[in-house]
Structure 1
Amino acid sequence: MIILAAGIGSRLGQNLPKALVELKDGFTILDLQLKLLKEKFNTEDIIVVVGYKKDLIIERYPDLRYIYNPEFRSTNTSKSLLHGLKFIEENEDVLWLNGDVVFESGILDLVLDEIDNNIICVNNEKVSDEEVKYTLDEDKYINAISKEVKNGLGEAVGINFIKKEHLPLFVSCLEDCQDDDYFEKGVEMVIEEGVKFIPVDIKDNFCIEVDFPEDLQVAKKFIKGLMKK
């Protein structure tokens, strides 16, 4: 498993890695992600790709495995993911997620239900111009995924899975990405090489990428309700 937590997150204005942003009483986005992942997976396999203010994350979570993206200021998620994948054993499937995603555990159940496939988690109830969108081919596999997609069927939510047999080709595609490309560009490139990804619709589960202050307020409201249960 790889958590991408190298970015600056300037739009949120917290002056912290977004993974360390508090949702409630010191409980961070990364706390939530680790809690949910531990319920379903072996968390000894977690790699966190760090960059901006990396020492803050490492000091708070000293038992995790870390990979440093030294070019975090000039590269995007394609290169952070590439850094992480280079330290993955070739006999491992890989779940990866953005370090700013606040979600509920049912999404991981949906992933496990489709574990024989390569997966892009999507929300078909939302199609915002600002988000990564996708379309399908005639066989219902993803054929395009980017912010520039026209007539998108839904939004990619930043939680994804790839089978071990496709990792070498995916790594090669990420190496061919430009520094400012999102990892979805690498996904598009590996799809062009014949690798299939299915969309897994998470619309019945809470999920939000915390990019802006208003996103954080929505996430905090969700966590407040969750902790009351």
Structure 2
Amino acid sequence: MSFRIVILAAGMGSRLGRALPKPLTELSDGRSIMQQQRDNIHAAFGPDSKITTVVGYRAETVIDAFPDASYVHNERYDQTNTSKSLLRALHATGKKSVLWMNGDVVFDPRVLGRAISLIERDQSFVTVNTAKVSDEEVKYTIDETGHIDQLSKTVVGGIGEAVGINYISRADKPAFMRHLARVDDQDYFERGLELAIAHDGVKLQPMDISDLYAVEIDTADDLEHANLFV
């Protein structure tokens, strides 16, 4: 499998109320969120997996914690959202397809194992959970072929939530990057995916992991919930 892995870790994560970047938040098993992610990546794809991390807020603390990773800097981390952080990483990874994840997601190691068959087919996908649909989370709908149709926090009638672990194929990457470049600085990367679907016919398969855990850490309650699993 010839692809690159990206972790988005540039944001300040102010809602959690910690001084360190949110991916360095310690879990109950002693690992940080990012260490748990890296362990899952290496378990699924091998110890030599190439990981590119986008940093911004207190970048040096992330780099010191994981000096073996490749880094892309978003100096405008306090003025931009995940759309622009991801765009920088996609440029840095050349023509390779990319598996990326938000740097605040704690997830079951089996999630990435489930993704292997899709990655081997170079099929773009969005990881989803149909067990809950929260107003504050990114929600989705599907079209008549079963592919992602709408994908945002404002979706009405969403059938589940996006988890924050996604994959863009080599073929779909150029269209996605064009739309990431045109969206507003404060847009999430999901807006770029929506535009690629609408204007370029990109087919995103929903990969359902409702039977596995995946928790995006925004608040202290989220952290407490994630610690039930690790």
TM class by smaller structure: over 0.9
Runs of 4 or more, structure 1, over 6 Å off, are: none
- Map 1:80-229; keep pairs closer than 5 Å: 80-90=85-95, 92-115=96-119, 116=121, 117-192=123-198, 193-223=200-230
Normalising by structure 1, what TM-score? 0.94
Give the whole-Å Cα distance in 1 for the aligned partners of 2:143 and 2:30: 44
Give the whole-Å Cα distance in 2 for the aligned partners of 1:220 and 1:16: 18
The answer as to whether partners of 1:20 and 1:29 remain within 8 angstroms in 2 is yes
* Number of equivalences: 222
Normalising by structure 2, what TM-score? 0.94
- Identity of matched residues, %: 46
**1:113 CA displacement:** 2.5
Residue aligning to 1:73: 78
Q: Name the stretch that deviates more: 79-88 or 111-120.
A: 111-120
Alignment gaps of 5+ in structure 1 = 224-229
Residue aligning to 1:5: 9
Q: SS state of the match for residue 122, structure 1?
A: strand
Give the whole-Å Cα distance in 1 for the aligned partners of 2:83 and 2:216: 17
Deviation by residue 1:7-49 (Cα, 9 ceiling, x = unmatched): 0000111121111000035410011000010112254421000
> Match of 1:165, as an amino acid?
A
> Match of 2:229, as an amino acid?
F
**1:221 CA displacement:** 2.0
**1:114 CA displacement:** 2.1
Deviation by residue 1:127-185 (Cα, 9 ceiling, x = unmatched): 00000000011111111000000000000000001111111111111001100000000
The answer as to whether partners of 1:49 and 1:66 remain within 8 angstroms in 2 is yes
> Match of 1:171, as an amino acid?
M
> Quick check: 1:64 aligned with 2:69?
yes
> Match of 1:218, as an amino acid?
H
